[in-house]
Structure 1
Amino acid sequence: MADFLIRRSDLRDTFWADTLSAPLGPGKARLRVDAFALTANNVTYASFGEAMGYWNFFPTADPAFGRVPVWGFATVMESNADGIAPGARVYGYLPISNHFDVQPIRTNANGFMDGAPHRQGLAPIYNTYIFNSADPGYDPAFEAQQMLFRPLFTTGWMIDDCLMETGAEIPETVVISSASSKTALALAHCLKQRGAVEAIGLTSTANKHYVESTGLYARTVTYDDVDDLHSRGLTAYVDFLGRPTLTADVHHALKDRLVRSLVIGVTDWEGNRTPVDAPGPKPEFFFVPTYAAERAKDLGADELNARMGRALTGFYAASSKYLTPEKAGGQSAITQAWTQTLDAKIPPSTGLILSF
Structure 2
Amino acid sequence: MPLGVDPAQSFEVRQDDLAKVQWREPRGDDGLAKGEADVAIRRFALTANNITYARLGSRIPGLGFGYWEFFPAGSGWGSVPVWGLADVVASRHPNLTEGTTLFGFFPMATHLRMTVGAVSGATVLEESLHRRSLPATYNQYLIANRGLALGPEAMDAYMVLRPSFSLSFCCATYLSEQRWFGCRRILISSASSKAALGLAMLLAGEGLEVVGLTSRQRVAQVAARAVHDRVLPYEEITALASDEPTVFVDIANATDVTRAVHDHLGSGLRTSIAAGFTHGSDVSEALPGPRRALFMAPAHMQRLQDLWGKNGYWQRFTEAWQHFHALIAKGTAFVHTSGPAGVERVYREVLEGRVPNDTAHLLSIR
- Tell me the distance in 2 between the aligned counterparts of 1:135 and 1:120: 23
Is the CA contact 2:49–2:163 (under 8 Å) kept in the aligned structure 1? Answer: no
**% same residue:** 28
**Post-superposition offset of 1:86:** 0.8
- Indicate the residue corresponding to 1:10 in structure 2: 17
* Residue correspondence of structure 1 range 7-46 to structure 2 within 5 A: 7-19=14-26, 20-46=28-54
- Tell me the distance in 2 between the aligned counterparts of 1:343 and 1:204: 14
**Post-superposition offset of 1:89:** 0.9
142-151 vs 286-295, greater mean Cα deviation: 286-295
Structure 1 regions of 5+ residues with no counterpart?
none
* Residue correspondence of structure 1 range 183-332 to structure 2 within 5 A: 183-192=195-204, 194-230=205-241, 234-269=245-280, 275-279=285-289, 281-332=290-341
Cα 1:214/1:90, change in 2 over 3 Å: same
Secondary structure of 2:19's partner? strand
- Indicate the residue corresponding to 1:92 in structure 2: 104
- Indicate the residue corresponding to 2:137 in structure 1: 125
Secondary structure of 1:151's partner? helix
Is the CA contact 1:230–1:253 (under 8 Å) kept in the aligned structure 2? Answer: no
1:348 paired with 2:357, answer yes
- Structure 2 length normalisation: TM-score? 0.90
Deviation by residue 1:125-170 (Cα, 9 ceiling, x = unmatched): 0111011122158454411110111111011011111101344735
- AA in 2 matched with 1:327: H
Of residues 161, 165, 171, the one that matches 2:177 is 165
- AA in 1 matched with 2:335: E
- Indicate the residue corresponding to 1:53 in structure 2: 66
- AA in 2 matched with 1:34: R
Secondary structure of 2:220's partner? helix
Secondary structure of 1:49's partner? coil
- Structure 1 length normalisation: TM-score? 0.92
- Indicate the residue corresponding to 1:103 in structure 2: 115
Secondary structure of 2:104's partner? strand
Cα 1:231/1:354, change in 2 over 3 Å: farther
- Tell me the distance in 2 between the aligned counterparts of 1:132 and 1:180: 29
Is the CA contact 1:228–1:253 (under 8 Å) kept in the aligned structure 2? Answer: no
339-348 vs 233-242, greater mean Cα deviation: 233-242
Is the CA contact 2:274–2:293 (under 8 Å) kept in the aligned structure 1? Answer: yes
- Tell me the distance in 2 between the aligned counterparts of 1:18 and 1:137: 34
- AA in 2 matched with 1:115: E
- Tell me the distance in 2 between the aligned counterparts of 1:333 and 1:158: 33
312-321 vs 68-77, greater mean Cα deviation: 312-321
- AA in 1 matched with 2:32: L
Deviation by residue 1:281-326 (Cα, 9 ceiling, x = unmatched): 3211001121222223332332222111111123222212432211
- Tell me the distance in 2 between the aligned counterparts of 1:268 and 1:53: 17
- Tell me the distance in 2 between the aligned counterparts of 1:135 and 1:232: 48
- Tell me the distance in 1 between the aligned counterparts of 2:57 and 2:146: 31
Is the CA contact 1:164–1:171 (under 8 Å) kept in the aligned structure 2? Answer: no
Aligned residues: 352
Give the alignment's Cα RMSD to 1 decimal: 2.1
Is the CA contact 1:334–1:354 (under 8 Å) kept in the aligned structure 2? Answer: yes
- AA in 2 matched with 1:212: A
Cα 1:168/1:203, change in 2 over 3 Å: closer
**Post-superposition offset of 1:117:** 0.8
Secondary structure of 1:318's partner? helix
Is the CA contact 1:27–1:81 (under 8 Å) kept in the aligned structure 2? Answer: yes
Is the CA contact 1:180–1:211 (under 8 Å) kept in the aligned structure 2? Answer: yes
Is the CA contact 1:81–1:104 (under 8 Å) kept in the aligned structure 2? Answer: yes
- Tell me the distance in 2 between the aligned counterparts of 1:230 and 1:221: 13
**Post-superposition offset of 1:273:** 6.0
Cα 1:232/1:325, change in 2 over 3 Å: farther
- Tell me the distance in 2 between the aligned counterparts of 1:274 and 1:282: 9
Secondary structure of 1:107's partner? strand
Is the CA contact 2:137–2:302 (under 8 Å) kept in the aligned structure 1? Answer: no
Structure 2 regions of 5+ residues with no counterpart?
60-64
- Tell me the distance in 2 between the aligned counterparts of 1:12 and 1:43: 11
Cα 1:22/1:313, change in 2 over 3 Å: farther
**Post-superposition offset of 1:334:** 0.3
